[in-house]
A and B are shown apart, each in its own frame.
Chain A
Amino acid sequence: EAGVAQSPRYKIIEKRQSVAFWCNPISGHATLYWYQQILGQGPKLLIQFQNNGVVDDSQLPKDRFSAERLKGVDSTLKIQPAKLEDSAVYLCASSSPASGGPGELFFGEGSRLTVL
């Protein structure tokens, strides 16, 4: 089966510009996650969707970050305006009870953002 697809793989922008990342989860996976991984740190959850509803967005900086999952399939994460500290790899993951137990997530390769 196809894995989690993310694009773009790399993006360089200047501070105060905007950027959007796209994720297409594994077919049939109802749960989708966006994680932020700053260099040298572990991934931190930004938002979790169940179908097209938000389960947890407590760590999402809502003044500049937004995410949506229209139709419960693919998802977009947007940052506007970007700050220097947003430089990170943005990981998308998906899961399904049929594809593994709780906590078994399938990750994409990530989108690396550099803010200058």
Chain B
Amino acid sequence: GDSVTQMEGPVTLSEEAFLTINCTYTATGYPSLFWYVQYPGEGLQLLLKATKADDKGSNKGFEATYRKETTSFHLEKGSVQVSDSAVYFCALSLVAAGNKLTFGGGTRVLVKP
């Protein structure tokens, strides 16, 4: 079945450090890919998305590129802030599966001042 695998956390960084969270997927078909974020005490919210190969999604300084050849969608940010501390979820959706989201296990990121 369709699945998403992402690196386990927690990831602890200092402010202004470079962040990478790896995400790979398995899908029967051509999925759209997403990163969702869950800040402490808040609900899940969409961070960025990409719908076709080589697309780059970006938002709030975060970027991820849809790599079909490696079935990956790694999340990066060049200089993290304390406010980026959150749990990050990689996810995919397929039109043939009713556009439901299939999530990875989540990666907790803690940024220290």
Contacts and interface: CB of A to CB of B under 8 A. Distances in A.
B43 A103 contact: no
Q: How many residues of B sit at the interface, in one of the four size bands?
A: 20 to 34
Nearest to B6: A42
Interface residues of A, number: 27
A101 B101 contact: no
Interface stretch (B14-22, B67-75, B91-99): B91-99
Contacts of A43: 44, 89, 101, 103
Nearest to A97: B99
Contact of B43 (A56, A91, A95): A91
Interface majority SS on A: helix, strand, loop or mixed?
A: loop
Given A40-B105, A102-B93, A103-B34, A48 B100 contact: yes
Nearest to B92: A103
A100 B45 CA distance: 13
A44 interface: yes
B4 to A, nearest CB: 8
Given A42-B106, A102-B95, 5 more contacts: A43-B101, A56-B98, A103-B91, A105-B101, A107-B44
Interface of A: 3-4, 31, 33, 40-45, 48, 50, 55-56, 91, 93, 95, 100-105, 107-110
7 contacts: A42-B106, A43-B101, A44-B103, A56-B98, A91-B43, A95-B99, A103-B99
